[in-house]
C-alpha cells in the first residue's frame, strides 16, 4: 500500500512569504506527526495530531507556525512570514494504534520523504 507522502518535495521561497506543506498519512493511521530536520542534525518534534485535534504542539517554535488536520487524514503545516532560519527538511510521520489498545499507545511511526524548504 501507499506510504506517507509529502508535497511539495522541494520548496524555495523568499523571506517574508507564506508557505504551506502538505502531508498525506497512511490510510487509517490516526496519529500524525510533524518534525523538522536541520542540516546535520536529528529531527526535532513540532506537533502531533490524534485524529483532528492537535494533542501536543509544544514543539512549534513560535506563532508563525501552525498546522491543521481538519478531517483527520491530510495535514497542512503553515508557516507565515518565513525567515532564513526556517530552512530545513520538514518531515511528516503517521502511526496507528495497536489492536485492542485502550490507552494512548501507538505503533511505530512511518515517515514521509520530507519537504525541503529553502528560504532565501
Partner 1 sequence: KNEVEQSPQNLTAQEGEFITINCSYSVGISALHWLQQHPGGGIVSLFMLSSGKKKHGRLIATINIQEKHSSLHITASHPRDSAVYICAVRVGGAQKLVFGQGTRLTINP
Identify the CA nearest to 119 among candidates 67, 73, 92, 79: 79
Confirm or reject binding of residue 42 to partner 1 (CB under 8 A): yes
Confirm or reject binding of residue 114 to partner 1 (CB under 8 A): yes
Confirm or reject binding of residue 43 to partner 1 (CB under 8 A): yes
Output the 3-class SS for 45-98.
EEEEEECCEEEECCCCCCCCEEEECCCCCCEEEEECCCCHHHCEEEEEEEECCC
Tell me which of 13, 20, 22, 59 binds partner 1, using CB under 8 A: 59
Which CB atom, from 18 or from 52, has the smaller least distance to partner 1? 52
Minimum distance between the CB of residue 114 and partner 1, rounded to whole angstroms?
A: 6
CA distance 33 to 54: 10
Confirm or reject binding of residue 105 to partner 1 (CB under 8 A): yes
Q: Which residues bind partner 1 (CB under 8 A)?
A: 31, 33, 35, 41-45, 48, 50, 55-56, 58-59, 91, 93, 104-114
Amino acid at each position: 500500500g501507499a506510504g506517507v507522502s509529502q508535497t511539495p518535495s522541494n520548496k524555495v521561497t523568499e523571506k517574508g512569504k507564506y508557505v504551506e506543506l502538505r502531508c498525506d498519512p497512511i490510510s487509517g493511521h490516526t496519529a500524525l506527526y510533524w518534525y523538522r530536520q536541520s542540516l546535520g542534525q536529528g529531527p526535532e518534534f513540532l506537533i502531533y495530531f490524534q485524529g483532528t485535534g492537535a494533542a501536543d504542539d509544544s514543539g512549534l517554535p513560535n506563532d508563525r507556525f501552525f498546522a491543521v488536520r481538519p478531517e483527520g487524514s491530510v495535514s497542512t503545516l503553515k508557516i507565515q512570514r518565513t525567515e532564513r532560519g526556517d530552512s530545513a527538511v520538514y518531515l511528516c510521520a503517521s502511526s496507528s494504534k495497536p489492536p485492542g489498545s485502550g490507552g494512548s499507545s501507538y505503533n511505530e511511526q512511518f515517515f514521509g520523504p520530507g519537504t525541503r524548504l529553502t528560504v532565501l
